Structure 1
Amino acid sequence: MNRLPPLRLLHVFETVHSAGSAKRAAGELNVSLSAVSQALRQLEEHIGTSLFDRSTRPARLNEAGEILLKAVIENRDRLTEALSEIQALTTQSGASVTVACTVGFATYWLMPRLEAFYLDHPDIAVNVQTTPQEVPHMPAGTDIAMRFGDGRWNDGDMQHLFDEIIEPVCAPVLAERLRKEDRNLASAQLIHVEFPDPNWVTWSDYFVQTGQKPAGTSKGLKFSNYVQAAQAALSGHGIMLGWRSTNGDHVQKGLLVPIGLPVMRPKSRFYITLSHRSRNVETAQVVIDWMRMTAQSETPEPVPENSTRFRNYTTDS
């Protein structure tokens, strides 16, 4: 077989894997479930073999599917980097800075604050590049990466942005219902974010570090995207682990409330990485200085680890 399959079929294939099911992929692609199923069948016919083990629910990639997925991801990353390098060659350096960060960080922390930045710096354009990784890559053309980890990266200059704070939160309407029904965390629906990153904090991690009981964590809603999980929590569908970087504004506005379980301070922190390959170092540093100043002005009062803000709920059965 010499002819490569159409790129649209490969895109559907990768989306099904990342979304976790064909149904979720259809939602992300804004197409019907039958359209996704048809695209997968066309891809398998083109290749000449099945790519999924359909004896499981949901279907999982078989060995052939794993091989194809690896090739698709590797070549997509190479193509993305190549296009970024080409763009960097053809774009003049100037008052434009490209920032790489996760969808959640961009949606809930960076974007809401950019309006204030533009008021102070109307001559600087900030281009936001979202990635699924907590440690975004920095190909040519990317000036800054917002990263969550230990700060041990060698592709740029590290500057600490802020420490992360994590605590269970939910919508006020759900908190009030739990209070009236005298229910505890073990019986409440938890919202899980299944994120393939070693720095990501799961409910299991939270319970281990805070010494709480993990009863009930196997149930609940599961998402592959933090933004979707946050929307579920805002709608009152369950309790989620709220991160300062993404849910801090929601808590400040009262859209989400801490439910009274211990606050967790992970060892990993948020850092700003100024790329060694940046052609706009001076302009990028202006953006970095502003972000650090903004984060410092918003730093909440220290909350001791394993303390609780409220004591209405426990994990005890």
Structure 2
Amino acid sequence: MKPVTIVGSVNIDLVCYLDRWPEIGETIPVRETATALGGKGANQAVAAKKLGADVTLVAAIGQDAFGQSAAADLKGLGVTCRLAQLADHQTGLAFIDVGPDGNNLIRLSAGANAALRPADAEQHADLLQNSSVVLLQNEIALETSLAAARLARQGDALVIMDPAPAPAAAWGPDVLAAFDILTPNASEAGSLLGRTLSTLEDALAAADTLAGRGLKGAVVTMGGHGVAWSFGNERGMRTAPKVAAIDTVAAGDCFNGALAAELARGSHFEEAIAFAMRAAALATTRKGASSSLPDLKELETFSAVETA
């Protein structure tokens, strides 16, 4: 199996768990705090690795204690890294508040992630061209993702773009056509299409629209409601596994990493979506970002219980 390559962000997550959301101007105590490896690129890389893929992450960190911590964590988790270590940028930081319902608010300081440039992707052209799947996100510069996608397509890699955080402006057909599969959540799909998505039927219509704009396919995730997809002549909806979610911070990253891993194994598109949905659901039952991501054995056990 050819590797999964991820070009994306590395952050350190600074997390506060809240018993309730504060009012504007109010100071409240937090129930618990945590510091952990994060960033969409890192989370997706760890998710794919733990689910059996051969993974390489291309990213940028600062020459600071946070960067050293992130690099050590990624190495310890078995992710092969090609990290640009930048003296003039700090490592990316994410300030995350998790409410009592498990939902979250995230504020980002991009740091070194914003300095990952097209030239960095070009340095790894051989890797990108010889990958089975290249996974991208919107926590790095769009031009860097476009450069990585172009290089990947010079080989036979499948290029997946997770447009998170949501683009500030809608992407035109020239941008969308650079990717094979788009995987927005409801909010991101709404930003791209200028509409509100409330139901799985809305998500399916959005997937159809996006897939018709130069993509091979689109998957629109609706959190605990489920997923809708449109891929060639195949389209459908699937409700999410029922779990007691306590932290949704890395659910989307887990979904994308799992989807990439399963597609790299050669699974059919709908099978890969079902696999990714189970992985993401299991991740929401645990605290943290990278620490919540299940391995293959845990997912197999969860799947057996779910279908029993």
Q: Choose between structure 1 and 2: higher helix proportion.
A: 1
Greater strand share, 1 or 2? 2
Structure 1 length as normaliser, TM-score? 0.24
State the structure with bigger RCO (CA 8 A, min sep 6), 1 or 2.
Answer: 1
TM-score, normalization: structure 2?
0.24
